[in-house]
Structure 1
Amino acid sequence: MSLAPEPDPERARSSRPRGEEFFARQRTSTDQLPAPEVFVRNIVRGILEVLAGVREVEQLARWLSEEVYRSLVTRANLATRARSARRVPARRDVHEIRSVHISSPADGVVEATVTASARVRTRAIAVRLEGMDGRWRVTALGLL
């Protein structure tokens, strides 16, 4: 005879994640993610290439939230139209990342500001990264 209580099947069923919870995005802790500075540098360089018209935004889709992706598509389309109206070809500028400042307001969240320079323009970029499904994802983006 066992003194352990019998498992309650109703309670066991309610503690299991439902399908939508199981397949929904899962938050990831900072210690389970790679160092954010390398990712920040690479994603900012990719975003600047999209805006310059030398990279397709789809190449960055897996690292962008849906809202950021849609916003970047809109900005890239406007930049393409502006270049077309002025009859200026897309140019592959080499963007030098001048500085990266990173802070972490919560576990699994990183906010970074980046200063990047090209031949004729210097830009300030702010990004918010959140750890989801074992990788960093850009959930907010600001460009000046």
Structure 2
Amino acid sequence: MTTAHRLKTLTGYEPHRAGRSIAAGSPAPLPAGRSLAAVRDVSPALDGPQVAILLTAILETYDGHRTTAQVEPLVDRPLLERLRAHSRARSAARHRLRSVRLCAPADDVVEACARVETGRRTIALAARFERTGGRWRCVRFDLLDPLATAQRMAA
């Protein structure tokens, strides 16, 4: 006689499998009819899927697959300049967002860490979003790639 086993989710710690939150799975693509501006302006608080949409857009700009004009309202000026400089180089590697974890250290701040795949490698991403004047902007965006850093220092 076999016994059926069922795992119960830990309330407050694990997302329910049917709903499958962004923290547990891959980010969802931008739904039809939704724009980046809608995510940036409407939300009083950013949630996992919204942050995933914003980070994906910034990663696409970083890779040179999206123009910096498309993310200009989403990022602060220093980050925009960094994206412009890097997107001109247009690397062959494509970065793909795989999972996102969030924390909110203050009411108008959301910090995210994410797992990003590039080729066969997995690297980390750290980002910070701040709300000023009712708009969310990414003020920090760092890909934590120890191999690329070591290669730059060796050159």
Report 1:56-135 matches (<5 A): 56-77=67-88, 79-80=89-90, 83=91, 93=94, 95=96, 97-135=97-135
The answer (yes or no) to whether the contact 2:59–2:95 under 8 Å persists in 1 is no
Which of 36, 48, 55 lines up with 1:44 in the alignment?
55
Structure 1: unaligned runs, 5 residues or longer: 1-31, 84-89
CA distance in 2, matches of 1:44, 1:131: 16
Cα distance change, pair 71–141 in 1 and its aligned pair in 2 (3 A): same
Q: What letter is aligned with 1:135? A: R
The answer (yes or no) to whether the contact 2:46–2:110 under 8 Å persists in 1 is no
Q: SS at 1:40's partner residue? A: helix
Q: What letter is aligned with 1:115? A: R
Identity of aligned residues (%): 31
TM-score by length of 1: 0.61
CA distance in 2, matches of 1:132, 1:72: 21
CA distance in 2, matches of 1:124, 1:43: 16
Larger Rg: 1
Q: Where in structure 1 do 4 or more consecutive aligned residues deviate above 6 Å?
A: none
Alpha-carbon deviation of 1:118? 4.2
CA distance in 2, matches of 1:42, 1:134: 18
CA distance in 2, matches of 1:128, 1:116: 16
Alpha-carbon deviation of 1:66? 0.8
Within the alignment, does 1:139 sit opposite 2:150 as a pair? no
Structure 2: unaligned runs, 5 residues or longer: 1-42, 145-155
TM-score by length of 2: 0.57
Question: Going by fraction, where is helix more abundant, 1 or 2?
Answer: 1
Alpha-carbon deviation of 1:133? 2.4
Alpha-carbon deviation of 1:52? 2.2
